[in-house]
């Protein structure tokens, strides 16, 4: 089973600040998927195939990486970005998720 390790576990950013969340895979994966989950809501797809934004996702979000190291970047933090972010892999069964990164507003 591929283990995905996210860092940091929790972070806080001021409006306008840049935020980077990393996802390290225990074995190489072809792509990483990113989801965000706001408090009390279900998860939503944010980025697929490493770097493609899901429909309606603002372009301040971006994804990159390859092999075992991937990252999600928010270029300019906004209050509505407060959420928990999860990475996920489809390369090796069972499909697995990272432990999540909770992003708060400073």
* Residues lying near other proteins in the complex (CB under 8 A): 1, 31, 33, 35, 42-45, 48-49, 54, 84, 86, 88, 90, 93-97, 99-100
**Cβ of residue 36: shortest distance to other proteins, in angstroms?**
11
Q: How far is CA 30 from CA 13, 15, 41, 70, in A?
A: 30, 33, 29, 11
**Cβ of residue 35: shortest distance to other proteins, in angstroms?**
7
**Cβ of residue 14: shortest distance to other proteins, in angstroms?**
25
Q: Which is nearer to other proteins, 14 or 42 (CB)?
A: 42
**Cβ of residue 49: shortest distance to other proteins, in angstroms?**
5
Q: Which is nearer to other proteins, 16 or 23 (CB)?
A: 23
For the chain, what's the residue count?
106
User: Among 83, 50, 44, 46, which residue's Cα sits nearest to residue 68?
Assistant: 50
Tokens of 34: 């990113």
How many Å apart are CA 75 and CA 93, to the nearest integer?
32
Q: Which is nearer to other proteins, 10 or 76 (CB)?
A: 10
Q: How far is CA 86 from CA 1, 16, 24, in A?
A: 17, 22, 12
Q: Which is nearer to other proteins, 65 or 100 (CB)?
A: 100
């Amino acid at each position: 089973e591929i283990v995905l390790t996210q860092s940091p576990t929790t972070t806080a950013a001021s409006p306008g600040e840049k935020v980077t969340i990393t996802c390290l895979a225990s074995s190489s994966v072809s792509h990483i998927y990113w989801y965000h989950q706001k408090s009390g809501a279900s998860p939503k797809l944010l980025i697929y195939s490493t770097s493609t934004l899901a429909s309606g996702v603002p372009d301040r979000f971006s994804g990159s990486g390859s092999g075992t190291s991937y990252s999600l970047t928010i270029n300019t933090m906004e209050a509505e970005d407060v959420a928990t972010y999860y990475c996920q892999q489809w390369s090796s069964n069972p499909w697995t998720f990272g432990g999540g990164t909770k992003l708060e507003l400073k």
